[in-house]
Amino acid sequence: MAAPAMDEDMWHHPSTHRNLNLLQKDGVMIIQPGHGELASGLFGDGRMEEPENIISILDNYFNKSRGALAGKKVLVTAGPTHEAIDPVRFIGNHSSGKMGIALAKECKNRGAEVILILGPVALPKEYDGITVIKVTSSDEMYNACHDHFKNVDIALMAAAVADYKPATVSDQKIKKAGDATPELKLVKTKDILKSLGAIKRRDRYY
């Protein structure tokens, strides 16, 4: 959104309105300026809309969307997965989970019932009104997604799932012994998106 303010001659100049029309075509909402005393001392169009009116316009705009997902169930995945090498080591990535968590909160704010399948993240636990299922590995996320996917209307897959995992996992910490370097064989993880796409209904979005 934009709330332009300028002197009357500038406001009524054709180039100003060409640019405003271009902004509107790009999806920008224009909050029209008011009529009154201007910074130049003149009196006319171009005065910035009063702040309380701008706030009212913003509030009305966003309130329209707050119930848009009422009655819908939404599944959101977020964060990384950790693929164990041994009890203390893993393969992982730097995903923070912020995007998926923000999506889950926004869906909840719009009235949806939200299930958040969350990988290991170090973020404040502020998920009021959201069902959170914590997982660690790609297999756990795969299973959790399939457990709940059939019951939701929308799925937003924002997690950074590992593409590979160790072929075998040691049940004890691998010790550093002499000059030998252990070899790590990797295998592909299950493709969660592909597997969910195979069972997706036509009335479901993801």
List the catalytic residues.
93
Task: Name the DSSP letter for residue 49.
Answer: P
Backbone angles phi, psi at 119, to 5 degrees: -75, 180
Give the span between the Cα atoms of 3 and 54, in whole angstroms: 8
User: What is the torsion angle, in degrees rounded to the nearest 10, for the CA atoms of residue 170, residue 175, residue 178 and residue 184?
Assistant: 30
Amino acid present at 158: A
Beta strands in 32-125 (DSSP E): 34-37, 43-47, 73-78, 83-84, 90-91, 113-118
According to DSSP, the residues that pair with 76 across neighbouring strands are 116, 156
| Helix ranges (DSSP H) in the chain | 8-11, 14-25, 51-63, 98-109, 138-149, 192-197
Cβ atoms of residues 44 and 35 within 8 Å: yes
End-to-end alpha-carbon separation of the chain, Å?
28
